[in-house]
Structure 1
C-alpha cells in the first residue's frame, strides 16, 4: 500500500455508507455540509464522504466519525425547497481521515488515500474467491426473490473478483454499519471475508424468516380447514333437521304456549317462528328475527295484574305520602270507586298541571302503590322523533319498539300505571310530530288498537292508567289537551310547606344523610325561616335541598365527634345556610300618588310588583319601560284610552294629553313581564298620577281592563292571593267573575285579607283611592 495525503472538503453522512463504484444521491441540510459541497464544485468536484457513528448528532467531532471514508466525485447538485441540497455522487477510492484542517465555515479534511498494492495472489486463488462468491450469491438469490434475475446474470458474467464484490455489497439490503465494515476492509482477502460473512448471515436470516412464515401459513390453513369443516357440519345438521336454530325455535314455541294472548296474536307469532326456522344462522336476518320474536313473546298481551279495591287503603296511602293535593286524591278515589262498581270502567287520562316541585310525579307513584299497579315512567322532555312513541319500522337497521310498547314490556302486565312525564315539553322536527303520535295513545276511542311500527300487531292500551304531568297547560298542543282531564296542582302555602317539611322532607333527608332521628332536630321557627328567607318557589324542591344542606353540615359535626346531637334554631340557622337570600317586597307604609301594587303569577308561584307612573310636561308621548311583553303594552294602551274617554268625569283638561308625557315603569327591568292581568293596576296608577290622587298603600289588585272600563277575569288566583298575604297587603281587588275561584282557596290564605270583587273601574277606584 502507498499513502498519498491530500486536503479536501468533507461531508459527514448520517445513516449511509458509500462504497467504491457506487452511484448514490443524498440530501444535505447542514450549513457546513452545503458550503463544503459548494467549495468542492468550485474545484475538481471531489469531496470526502465519511459516515458519523450517531445518526442524531448534529455537530459531530472527529471522534464521532468513522476513520475510513470514500473519496467521491460530485455528478450533480440540485437545490430543493427549505434550504436542502440534493447531491448525486460516485464513490471512487477509500481514504483514511487524518484530521480536520478547518471546521468552519466547512469541514476541510486531511485524508490519506488507501490504494491496495498489487497483491500477490495466484490466479487460482482469485478464481476460487470469484466462484465462491458467485455460488453463495446464487444461494442467496434463490431464497430472496427480490434479488432479481438480471442482477444474478450480471453477477454470473463478471470475471473480476474485486469488481464483483463491490457490485454485490452495493446491492445488498443491509444496514450502513455492515457496509462500513466492508469499506474498512482494504485488501481483497479482507473484503472477501466480510462479504461472505454478510451473504451467509443474510441466507440464515431469510431461511429463519421463511420457516416462521411456513409455520404461520400452516396454522392459518389449519384454521381455514376447521372453519370449512364446521360449515359443512352445519349444512349436514340442517339436512338432518338437527340444527341449533331448531332448539331456539323450540324454546320460542314452548314460550308461545305459556303466554296469554288472543288467537290471531298467537298465529302471527307462530308464523314468525316458522319463518325463523328457515333462516340460515349466518344470515344477518336471523338476529333481527330472533329479537322481534323475543319482543313479541315478552309483551303482556292479555296478562293483567289485580287491582287493590280497598278505598280506605288507597286513601291512607295517598294521605301518608302527600300533604294537601285534595282534588287529586279525590279524583283518584272516584276512579277507584267507579272501577269497583263496573268491574272494569274506562281508564281516565289525567294530566297534572302545576309548577315544578309540587309533587306531580311523586303522586303518580303513590297512586300506583295505592292501587297495587305496576309503575312505568316515560320521560317525554325533549323527545322529537315520532319513532320514540310509535317505534321504528323493522326494515331499518337497529329498529326497536317505541317507548309505550317498551314500557308495557318492562311492566309485564297490560294494565300498569304509565306516567307520561313533562308532556308539555315534547317537540317536533323533520322526523315527525311527537305530540300527534301521542293522540292515538291518549284517545280512549283509539288506544284499544294502538299499532306500534315495530311490533305491527295492535296493542290494547285501554286498560293502562295514564297520568301525564306538565308545568303549563298553555304549552300542550290543543288536540292533545282535549283528550286529557286537567287537574291543577297549585302552589303550596307556607303552612302546607311547613307540614310537608315536618311530616316528610326532614325525615327523608335525615335518613338520606345517614343520621338517626334523635341526632338532629329543627325547630318550627327555623323551618319557617328556611321557607320564607331561603327559598322562593311554588313547590318544595329547593326547600328539600336546603334541609339536605342542614343535614350534611350536622352529619359532619357528629362524625368529627364534636357533638352527639345537633339542634337547629332560628338563632343558629345562619351557621348552616348563610345569610337570608329572599325578602318579600312588603306593602308600603304611606299612601302615594302614581304607585299601585299589582299581583302577578310566575312559574314558581305568585309575586307582587309595583307599577309606577310619572306625568311630565311634554308633547303627549306615552312611554313604557321595565321589559314589558306585548300583552301588557296593549293593556296599558287600553287603560289610557279608557282614562281619556272619562276625562271630563275627573276634571282632566282637554289639552292635558297633548301637553304632558306619561311614563309607566315596572321595576326589575331585567326581568321580562307579560300577562293579561295588569290592566286595572296600570289604569289606576295612571289615573292617580294624572289626577294627583293618592292610592292606598295596603291595597293590591289584579284584573284586565276593557276600553269601556269593565274588569275581566284572570288565572293563578291562589298564587296571587298568597303573594299578597306574604307582602302584608290588607285589601285585594279581584274580578267579580273570579268569585267562584276564591271559594276553592284555603281559609288560611284568605284570613286577614279583605277581598273586594270588582266589575268596573269605578269599583276599583272606590277601593284604591284614599
Structure 2
C-alpha cells in the first residue's frame, strides 16, 4: 500500500492522512477509492479527446470539401464573384434612392472583403437582404373608380355613412391630384362596431394591400424604430417589417389599439409614432436598423382606438379623428340579416334551408341576450344557435329545418340574460335616472338621495371620482341657493345630513354630466316630491343653475332607448348634436332641451314645487312626442 500511495498524484495533506491510517485493510480501501476517482478522470479525458478529434476531423473535412467546391466553381466561372454580381444586379433593380443605393453598394464592397465564415459577414449580408426586401418603387395599382369603391364599402358594412363619405372623398382627391400625400385617419369607437374590418374594406375598395400592426401593450420604442445593427440579433422595427410584408410602398397600414400603448425605461413608442404619422416628416422616416431614409408618405395610415384621452395630444394632432358610434337596434337587425347570419351559417356548415331567423327572433336576441354598443356578442349568440341546430342536423338528418322566432329563442339560448324594463318600478322621492357614457357605449345610472337628521354634512358614496364629487357639491350649493323655491327655510341644511349614493358601488364613476341628475335627486328628497320614473336626464350644472352641454349624446340616447326610457332631458346646447343621431331613434323619443335647472325640475318632478318655477321652454325640435308605454314591450321582459 505504501508503494502504491507513493506513486499517486496526491496532495501533501492527502498523503499525510494515508500515513496516519495504521490498519492496512482500511488504508487499502482508502487507496482504492482514490484509484476509482483517478480511473474515472482518465475515462472522461479519453471521451472528451475522442469527441474533439471527431469534430476536428469533421470540420477539416467540411473545410476541404468547401474549398474543393469553390475551386470547381471558380474553374466553371460560377464562384463567389457571381453571387456578389447577383446582389449588385438586385441593388440596381430595386429602385432605391441614390443615397440608399450608395450605402448598399458600399456595404456590398465590405461584404466582398470579409471572410465568408466571419460573424460580421452574416450581419452585413442580413442588412443587404433587408435593404433589398423592402419595397422601394413597387406600388399597388389603385382603384380610382368611386362607384365601384362605394359598392365595395356598402357590401361589407352597413351604415357608417360619414366614414364611407370620407373614403370616397379621399379617392376623389387621388383622381384630381397627381402626387397626393397619404391620409392618416383614426377610428374611435366602442368594441365590436367594425373599426378593424373597415380598414380591410378600405384596402379592398382602393385596390391596395392591407397590413396590420397591433400596438396593444407595446412599450418599447424599438418595436417601432427597430434596433441598431450593433446589437446581436437586431432587426428592423414593425413599421419596416410590415412594409416588407405588404410588398408595396402604398398599402393600407392599420395601427390597431393605438390608445393602449404604454411607456417605460425603454422609451415611449407613441413618441416614435409621431414621425411615422406626420405628413411633413414621414417621407424621410429613419429606422434604426436600416439607418437610411424610407418614404412612408404614400401609405394610407388608419389608427383605431376605443377612447381618445389615453392618446398623447401630440399624436392626436397628427390624425383625423372619425368617431364610430354604437349601433341602434334597427341597425343591429340589418347587420345580422345581411352579414352575421350568413357568416355563422357557413361557419357551422348549415344552409338557409336548415335554419332561418325571423326579424323578431333577431330583435329578441339583441334585447334579451346582449348589452353592447357593437355586434360582437350578437354574432356570438347567433353562432350558438347555429351550432345547436348543426348538432340536430347531424342527429336527425340533413332534412331537419327550423325557423327561429321570438317564441323559441329561449330553447336555444337558455334563460334571458337582460330585461329591458324601466329603470325604476315606480316614481320615488330622491331617485333619478341619469345617463352615462363609457368606452363600450352608453348606460343608465341611477342616483339616490336620502335626507336624515344631522348637522349639514354631505356624504357621497358609490366610488365617485373627483369631478363627479365636485359636481355633487355644486348641485348641493345650487339647491341651497333655491331653498325658498323648494319650500324650505334658508338654514334647512343646519339640522340635516344629505347622503348621495350612485348604485353599483364597485364600478368607478366620474365626469360632470351627472350634475343635473344629482341636483334633481337632492331637490326631490328635500321637497318630498317624487321624480318621474319614465324620464332620464344628463347635463352639467353650474352654481347659478345653468345647464351645460355634455358628450356622448348618441350613446346616451341609445342607452335610454334600450332601458325603455323614451323621454330625456338634455342641455339646450346639445340640440345641434342631434344631426348625429339616427332618424329612427329621434322619432322614437321625446326630447326636452333645458337651459336652466328650473326648467329641468319643471319637467322631471311629478308635481310643481311650492313656489312657481319659470316655464320650461318648448324644445326647438320636439321630436316624436309620443308618451312611452307604462310598461316595456313584452319582448323586453
TM-score above 0.5: yes
TM-score by length of 2: 0.85
Q: 1:273 maps to which residue? A: 108
Q: Cα 1:217–1:301, aligned 2, differ >3 Å: closer, same or farther?
A: closer
Greater Cα shift, 389-398 or 250-259 = 250-259
* 2:342 is equivalent to residue 507 of structure 1: yes
Within 5 Å, give how 1:434-513 maps onto structure 2: 434-513=269-348
Q: 1:374 maps to which residue? A: 209
Q: Cα 1:272–1:638, aligned 2, differ >3 Å: closer, same or farther?
A: same
Supply the distance in 1 between the matched residues of 2:33 and 2:297 (Cα, whole angstroms): 85
Question: 1:211 Cα shift?
Answer: 12
Bigger Rg over Cα? 1
1:218-242 CA distance string (max 9 Å, x none): 8677546535646876998999998
Within 5 Å, give how 1:177-192 maps onto structure 2: none
Q: 1:292 maps to which residue? A: 127
1:132-180 CA distance string (max 9 Å, x none): xxxxxxxxxxxxxxxxxxxxxxxxxxxxxxxxxxx9xx979999xxxxx
Q: 1:413 maps to which residue? A: 248
Within 5 Å, give how 1:156-555 maps onto structure 2: 222-223=57-58, 225-226=60-61, 229=64, 245-555=80-390
Greater Cα shift, 238-247 or 610-619 = 238-247
Greater fraction strand: 1
Question: 1:296 Cα shift?
Answer: 0.5
1:311-353 CA distance string (max 9 Å, x none): 0111011000000111100110011111111133222210000
Q: Cα 1:511–1:235, aligned 2, differ >3 Å: closer, same or farther?
A: closer
* 2:533 is equivalent to residue 694 of structure 1: no
* 2:503 is equivalent to residue 667 of structure 1: yes
Q: Does structure 2 retain, via aligned residues, the 8 Å contact 1:388–1:403? A: yes
Q: Does structure 2 retain, via aligned residues, the 8 Å contact 1:448–1:459? A: yes
Q: 2:632 maps to which residue? A: none
> Which residue among 597, 602, 616 is the counterpart of 1:766?
602
> Which residue among 443, 459, 466 is the counterpart of 1:607?
443
* Unaligned residue ranges in structure 1 (runs of 5+): 1-18, 24-75, 77-86, 93-166, 176-201, 203-208
Q: Does structure 2 retain, via aligned residues, the 8 Å contact 1:375–1:411? A: yes
Q: Does structure 2 retain, via aligned residues, the 8 Å contact 1:375–1:417? A: yes
Q: Does structure 1 retain, via aligned residues, the 8 Å contact 2:570–2:592? A: yes
| Structure 2 residue matching 1:410: 3-state secondary structure | helix
Q: Does structure 1 retain, via aligned residues, the 8 Å contact 2:183–2:299? A: no
Q: 2:544 maps to which residue? A: 708
Question: 1:696 Cα shift?
Answer: 2.0
Q: Cα 1:293–1:172, aligned 2, differ >3 Å: closer, same or farther?
A: closer
Q: Cα 1:749–1:172, aligned 2, differ >3 Å: closer, same or farther?
A: closer
Q: Cα 1:270–1:656, aligned 2, differ >3 Å: closer, same or farther?
A: same
Q: Cα 1:630–1:219, aligned 2, differ >3 Å: closer, same or farther?
A: closer
Supply the distance in 1 between the matched residues of 2:66 and 2:604 (Cα, whole angstroms): 94
| Structure 2 residue matching 1:742: 3-state secondary structure | helix
Supply the distance in 2 between the matched residues of 1:397 and 1:346 (Cα, whole angstroms): 37
Q: Does structure 2 retain, via aligned residues, the 8 Å contact 1:379–1:420? A: yes
Supply the distance in 2 between the matched residues of 1:715 and 1:171 (Cα, whole angstroms): 90
1:537-569 CA distance string (max 9 Å, x none): 111111111111111111111112356223322
Within 5 Å, give how 1:580-659 maps onto structure 2: 580-588=416-424, 590-659=426-495
| Structure 2 residue matching 1:598: 3-state secondary structure | strand
* Unaligned residue ranges in structure 2 (runs of 5+): 6-16, 607-637
Q: 1:748 maps to which residue? A: 584
Supply the distance in 1 between the matched residues of 2:483 and 2:47 (Cα, whole angstroms): 109
Supply the distance in 1 between the matched residues of 2:555 and 2:330 (Cα, whole angstroms): 14
1:94-118 CA distance string (max 9 Å, x none): xxxxxxxxxxxxxxxxxxxxxxxxx
TM-score by length of 1: 0.71
Question: What is the alpha-carbon root mean square deviation over aligned residues?
Answer: 3.2
Question: 1:617 Cα shift?
Answer: 1.4
Supply the distance in 1 between the matched residues of 2:225 and 2:459 (Cα, whole angstroms): 52
Supply the distance in 2 between the matched residues of 1:288 and 1:462 (Cα, whole angstroms): 29
Greater length-normalized contact order (CA 8 Å, ≥ 6 residues apart): 2
Question: 1:652 Cα shift?
Answer: 1.7
Question: 1:216 Cα shift?
Answer: 8.3
| Structure 2 residue matching 1:608: 3-state secondary structure | strand
Query: How many residues end up aligned between the 2 structures?
Result: 584
| Structure 1 residue matching 2:360: 3-state secondary structure | helix
